[in-house]
Chain A
């Protein structure tokens, strides 16, 4: 925390901070972060610096537990997807998009209900994000990660894949049905780009499910985590 000259940098957003100064502080090296939220801090710091540098954002630091790394990234994706959901709320209504579709090939059923339901696209979006928020914060499925963020059970890591598949459909629906919104959002956040890169890199989704055309271009292992 101490700078070379001895003055202390306090990374705080005090009330009254202008929005352009929000979180605008010198980067803190990961090894100096002593918080239990260090990985989240680190990822957010990278995104803040340059959201388009997907490669750097997804580069896992040494000595980092891969499960936690994936978990933290997925949390960040779900959080940022709220932005897309806000935009979709304005345009995507149950009357225009009665079903959650991307291409005409599939109708996605909403898994938030006891028996999966054919929710309208906007409901699907909201339910999926809400469900993901509950799951990723659940003490039951991610007991140690929620409180300590140092390790993750293997059984919980498998949950990450299904969350990825579900939230990806929000991208695909937006891309195929609300292209303007998608493009605007993507231009700002590079989120779909980063997400595609992420699931490919960590093998969380099969390649044929990644239907939004984004050129990832490398090392995508052929898919297995289907269903």
Chain B
């Protein structure tokens, strides 16, 4: 187990290092952006000076953190520019001295001038960048402010509505209880009465509002809570929600510390609206604080209006909760939920959006005001902030790289269907660069496909691709494929025991061109039975066959066969083979015995055996269908007949991880070029995508039908383009994007 954890740690380590570095850099950038913006922020706040001001300031602070990542890069560039500028200065220094001495020369002067000029250019462009950045931010902040204002007015409207309903309700109740109209139907006060306190209130009715307001107010709050509880929102949910609200606003608190504190202070000091709203934000769910502020206000202002405003003030906190509940759970407000959905899907595009905002800040403003999309905008903020938070947390954990992947969690969808084979497609392989792939089938042929040459299929979103070229040489089913790293040559192994070498025709060839015998550039003869596994490394290929041997070839040598590796009889026939990617001259071979053996290709000696006694006890059904080597780590991954995928440490030969991956035997594996994701195919008709970091299934796609008891034969990643593909017994290959 010791080695076990060591190896897993090994997996983690690499991405961690890179991410950590990136994190630090980004952090620096953010810091810079934040502080520089602090000033601007307070300026704009000072200029505005209306009710919603402090809110917008706060939220803008939140947005700071949001944009930080985006701007971090730019900031970094700016810094580099600055350094260059500095160098320019230094370079100019000696020249300057020369200029004072009589020995200056024309080239020297020109050089100096050039230096100066380039320095100024650099600084100027840096300023331009800064300016554009700040302008973008101003536009954005203005947008935020607008949207928050409209949010505020919307909330106020809602509260008024609820109050009205409450008053009506109260009046009805009163009427039912006493049979008369309530004495002060039009006044505000009865609305704050509790039923149990009715009598008391009746006596108190002449007392000035100010003295009562404190208690009645608290009761009103209680009432509202009860209301919420009645409709099914327990305090728990309310608390969760309010926490969420706080977490949004919590960012603002941080921002306040960062540098917009001045702005906030002024906001507090100025208009009444600001006064009322700011405490609301800082402690929306803490009743204590709210009532404190209330206590501070009420004696001072005895006007009806002030009560009204206080109600707006504290109620807004609860209402905000209510609002979010409505948006996400009750979905009573279509507009909000729609926006939420939109936001959810557009989440990845945050950066783009921000950029867009920078460009068309004004348009955005008008849009927001016109459509009164205030709430939707807020909802967006929430989601964005949440995702940002998650991202931050992840990068702190040190899985920044994978978090980046998760942050833009891609869903793969079937896009191309490759139909032209008459029988099961046993293998497929992508061209290393072009959107081109080759399939090998039990119908004795290989076919070349260009994904850019498609035919729109009838009544379906997927595209049909027609093959460009059919490779014919095998006299039986073709079982495996390999391709040279240049993408010029392809190799195929067949049931007939031959390995055929092919020069790939141009991906733009006419499918009905003349036959060119040179496409078939040679046959590697040596195996005496079916060739089941084939893989390439630089100019060499290694193949494994049912004749019990593994052979290393250099296809274009005079003597192509370099070496043969034969295991003991007990191991049985090899089923799959791969080069160990992080160790030159090593190959890993899977045998019928369910053992894997790593060979040194030079010496032909066994280096290590991958086996785990307890795990493999009784290796019936543990048969390995496919073995692949991790592209960067000393890890070997095997696909087993017993539905497992197992991970092995190449250095110690121990089992690192074992998991049930499918409902039926796992037949095929592929690791993406960066070593982050694993793709597996199975006879259960599905392919699954796994995150190699935490070994969780990211996506499952049902891809092929069964023929007899077989379904999926092969899966593949494109090395440089976002394509994955599967090949099935139903004669189809599918490409997912």
Contacts and interface: CB of A to CB of B under 8 A. Distances in A.
Interface of A: 1, 10-19, 22, 25, 28, 35-37, 40-41, 75-76, 78-79, 82-83, 85-86, 89, 93-94, 110, 112-113, 119-120, 122-123, 126-127, 129-131, 133-134, 136-140, 143, 146
A15 B575 contact: yes
A119 B575 CA distance: 43
B472 A78 contact: no
A15 B472 contact: no
Interface in B437-485: 443-445, 457-458, 460, 464, 466-467, 470, 472-477, 479
Contacts of A15: 479, 532-533, 575-576, 625-626
Contact of A120 (B445, B475, B514): B514
A189 to B, nearest CB: 11
Contacts of A11: 708-710
A225 B325 CA distance: 71
A126 B475 contact: no
A212 to B, nearest CB: 22
Given A11-B708, A15-B533, A139-B458, A86 B497 contact: no
B625 A14 contact: yes
B69 interface: no
B241 interface: no
Interface string B401-425: 0000000000000000001111100
Contacts of A127: 512
A137 B425 CA distance: 14
Contacts of B474: 86
Interface of B: 419-423, 443-445, 457-458, 460, 464, 466-467, 470, 472-477, 479, 495-497, 511-512, 514-515, 517, 529-530, 532-533, 544, 546, 572-576, 592, 623, 625-626, 641, 665, 683, 705-710, 729-731
Given A79-B443, A130-B511, A139-B458, A37 B707 contact: yes
Interface centre among A35, A40, A78, A85 (most CB of B within 10 A): A35
Given A15-B576, A35-B707, A89 B445 contact: no
B419 A146 contact: yes
B458 A143 contact: yes
A14 B495 contact: no
Given A11-B710, A16-B573, 16 more contacts: A13-B710, A14-B625, A15-B532, A15-B576, A16-B546, A17-B546, A19-B546, A36-B730, A75-B422, A76-B422, A79-B423, A79-B444, A85-B472, A123-B512, A129-B470, A130-B511
Nearest to B627: A15
A140 B458 contact: yes
13 contacts: A15-B532, A19-B476, A37-B730, A76-B422, A93-B517, A110-B512, A119-B514, A123-B512, A123-B514, A123-B515, A130-B467, A137-B420, A146-B419
A19 B444 contact: no
B457 A12 contact: no
A35 B705 contact: yes
A204 B230 CA distance: 77
B592 A16 contact: yes
Contacts of B477: 22
A130 B510 CA distance: 12
Contacts of B709: 1, 10-12
**Which are the 5 A-B pairs with shortest beta-carbon distances?**
A79-B422, A11-B708, A16-B575, A15-B575, A16-B573
B529 A19 contact: yes
A133 B705 CA distance: 20
Contacts of B460: 139
A78 B215 CA distance: 91
Contacts of B729: 37
Nearest to B479: A15
Contact of A36 (B419, B420, B592, B705): B705
A82 B444 contact: yes
Contacts of A28: 708
B641 A14 contact: yes
A16 B464 CA distance: 33
B575 A89 contact: no
Contacts, number: 136
B515 A94 contact: yes
Nearest to A136: B422
B623 A14 contact: yes
Contacts of A76: 422
B499 to A, nearest CB: 14
A12 B710 contact: yes
Contacts of A75: 422
A18 B479 CA distance: 12
Nearest to B625: A15
A41 B529 contact: no
B422 A78 contact: yes
Given A15-B576, A22-B495, A120-B514, A82 B472 contact: yes
Given A134-B466, A137-B419, A16 B532 contact: yes
A113 B544 CA distance: 41
A25 B705 CA distance: 20
A119 B623 CA distance: 49
Contacts of B496: 19
Nearest to A11: B708
B438 to A, nearest CB: 15
Contacts of B475: 83, 86
Contacts of A138: 419, 464
Which of B457, B458, B477, B707 lies at the interface centre, i.e. has the most chain A CB atoms within 10 A of its CB?
B707
Given A35-B707, A133-B422, A89 B512 contact: no
B512 A113 contact: yes
A41 B14 CA distance: 49
B425 to A, nearest CB: 12
Contacts of B464: 138-139
Nearest to A110: B512
Contacts of B706: 35, 37
A139 B419 contact: yes
Contact of A130 (B457, B473, B512): B512
A126 B472 contact: yes
A107 B268 CA distance: 96
Nearest to B707: A37
A19 B530 contact: yes
B529 A12 contact: no
A126 B509 CA distance: 15
Nearest to A113: B512
B464 to A, nearest CB: 6
A86 B472 contact: yes
Contacts of A143: 458
A29 to B, nearest CB: 13
> Which of A110, A129, A137, A146 lies at the interface centre, i.e. has the most chain B CB atoms within 10 A of its CB?
A137
Contacts of B625: 14-15
Contact of A83 (B444, B470, B573, B683): B444
Contacts of A13: 710
Contacts of B497: 19
A56 B296 CA distance: 100
Scoring A37, A83, A94, A127 by chain B CB atoms within 10 A of each residue's CB, the highest score goes to A37
A16 B574 contact: yes
B707 A122 contact: no
B472 to A, nearest CB: 5
Nearest to A112: B512
B5 to A, nearest CB: 32
A138 B420 CA distance: 8
B627 to A, nearest CB: 10
A41 B444 contact: no
A126 B705 contact: no
A16 B530 CA distance: 8
A36 B511 CA distance: 30
A89 B466 CA distance: 23
Most A CB contacts (10 A, CB to CB) among B443, B497, B592 go to B443
Nearest to A132: B422
A137 B475 CA distance: 22
Given A16-B546, A18-B546, A82 B592 contact: no
Contact of B573 (A10, A18, A35, A82): A18
Nearest to A34: B706
